[in-house]
Every structure is written in C-alpha cells, then in structure tokens.
Amino acid sequence: MTALLEITDLWAGYGRQQVLQGINLHVDEGEVAVILGANGAGKTTTMRAISGMIERRGSVLFQGTAIGAASPDHIVHAGIAQVPQGRGTFTDLTVEDNLRAGAFVRKNTNDSIDTDIRQWFEVFPRLAERRLQKAGSLSGGEQQMLAIARALMSKPTLLLCDEPSLGLAPIITQELFDVLGRLNAQDGLSILIVEQNANLALRIAHQVFVLETGTITASGTPSEIAQNDTVRKAYLGF
C-alpha cells in the first residue's frame, strides 16, 4: 500500500523537554492506524507534532510532500484534520455554527456545506436534535460527536483522533468507534487514532504502534500485537 503519512526520526517536545525521541511510523492510504500508549508516553505530543502545533524536527511527509516545517493552517489546507483531546469545540457557538466553522478551508458554495451538515446530522442524530444549542451545553459524548463531525466538515484526507474515548461512557465510546470504522470501510477515510482503550481500537485498526516514553517499542498488525506478551498484558488485560 502507498504511505499517506510517513514519519521518520521525529523528535518533538516543549522547550528543553524532548518528549518524542526519533519515532518512525506511517499511515497508508485507506487504513486505520492506532498508537497505543500509557499516560505520558507522548501520544498527544505526536498528534501535535503532525499538526504543526509544537516544535519538531525530523521528516514528516504527507502525500509525498514534506510538511515537517509547515504551519497548522497549511497542514489543515493540505488535508489533515485533528480531533483534539478534550474535544475542543467552540462552546459559545451553536452545534450548527461549529460545523460551519469546520468548513472554513473549503471554497464550496453554501449549498454544498449545507448538504454535508445534513449528512453529519444523519450520522449523529443527537446533534440534529441539538443543532441550535450552544456546544458548551452538550454532554461529553455529544461534544465528542460534534468534534468529529466538525473535523470532517473540512473533507480531510487524513483524520487524527486524540483519545476519542476519554471520559466517555462505554456505550458512547462504542458508538463513536463504530462510526469511525464505517467512515474507513465505506468512505476509505484514512485515520490515525491515539488511544488507551486497546481492545476497542484494535477492532478497527489495520496497523498498530506502541509508544512508550517517546519511543516506538512495537508495531504490527492487530493480531501480531495481540500475540506480543508484553503488549498483551499491558494493554489488553490478559
């Protein structure tokens, strides 16, 4: 398969603190890649480095073009959208206005944007019911749905999801992962997910990377990772 995102020897951190220590990973076209790791492993730092939100060095190629020195807005325009940890919705805007904000990089007509808003209301019916409510009044699960739909309004080629299950009830988490799985299987959307809920994430993954203290310590298909005794005991609970 062709690599959509290819990261080589990526170092990143905050000031003098280096969090990522030369990691290598890739996301192929049309696949779901998952980064597993405990708190403090560097998962969110990886997402921020890809999105250009922090200082980084190393090679980051997206569709064969170097974006390692690109700004966040350039990266969004290139086709990468991120659902940040903690949702990051515009709490004072309505649900519908949040979705319109997600389409800011597009040059489509309002009719096209309205069509996509209706599409995501069909995928997430609870958002349709709350379309005129301010995002800050939504439940945590509803805000996560909104954050995913808003990111998808930019029509990305690659969707980055940072801990989508964080703080959510199991039934809501399952619903969100079902949606992500369908977006990949039916629409061919490439997705990179960082997650602690390994059992759920591995159900929709094509490849898995294990990140520990800023270093990739294991990688492979979900079945290969499930057979790794160290990874299995640490993340799969058996």
Query: Are 117 and 127 within 8 A, CB to CB?
Result: no
CA distance 47 to 37: 13
Same domain, 125 and 183: no
Model confidence, pTM: 0.93
pLDDT in the model for residue 162: 94
143 and 190: one domain? Answer: no
- Clarify whether residues 71 and 106 are in a common domain: no
Residue 64 resides in a domain:
yes
Beta-bridge mates of residue 3:
28
Over the stretch 197-216, which tens digit does the pLDDT of each residue have? Answer: 888 888 999 999 999 999 99
Task: Give the CB-side neighbour count of residue 59, counting CA atoms within 13 A.
Answer: 12
Residue 27 belongs to some domain of the structure: yes
Do 30 and 40 share a structural domain? yes
Domain assignment present for residue 85? The answer is no
Return the percentage of the chain with pLDDT > 90, whole number.
76
Is residue 84 situated within a structural domain?
no
75 and 162 together in one domain: yes
**Judgement on whether residues 122 and 162 belong to the same structural domain of the protein:** no
pLDDT tens digits for range 62-114: 999 999 999 999 999 999 999 988 777 899 999 999 999 999 888 766 778 99
> Amino acid letter at 4?
L
Q: Is residue 189 part of a domain?
A: yes
What is the average pLDDT across 22-32? 97
Instruction: Output the furthest CA–CA distance in the chain (Å, rounded).
Output: 53
Answer yes or no: do 122 and 181 share one domain: no
Asked if the structure places residue 179 within a domain, the reply is: yes
The domain containing residue 184 runs over which residues?
A: 3-79+156-236
End-to-end Cα separation, the chain, in angstroms: 32
| Distance between CA atoms of residues 43 and 35, nearest Å | 7
Boundary of a domain, candidates 110, 135, 155: 155
In this structure, the answer to whether residues 67 and 136 fall within a common structural domain is no
DSSP 59: E
Strand-pairing partners, residue 12, are 20, 56
Instruction: Calculate mean pLDDT across residues 35-42.
Output: 90
Domain end: 155, 173, 190, which one?
A: 155
Last residue within a domain, chosen from 155, 176, 196: 155
Residues 101 and 139 in one domain: yes
Do 117 and 206 share a domain, yes or no? no
Q: Which two tokens stand for residue 146?
A: 């909104």
Would you say residue 166 has pLDDT above 90?
Answer: no
What is the CATH classification number for the domain harbouring 225? 3.40.50.300
Answer whether residue 21 is part of any domain.
yes
Q: List, edge to edge, every strand of the sheet that includes 190-195.
A: 80-83, 158-162, 190-195, 32-36, 207-212, 215-220
Strand segments, DSSP code E, in the chain are 3-14, 17-28, 32-36, 56-62, 65-66, 80-83, 158-162, 190-195, 207-212, 215-220
Looking at the structure of the chain, the number of domains it has is 2
Whether residue 121 is found in the same domain as residue 167: no
Do residues 211 and 40 make contact, with C-beta atoms less than 8 angstroms apart?
no
Question: For residues 142 and 126, is the Cβ–Cβ distance under 8 A?
Answer: yes
Residues 161 and 71 in one domain: yes
Q: Is residue 118 domain-resident? A: yes
Question: Per DSSP, what are the bridge partners of residue 33?
Answer: 192, 207
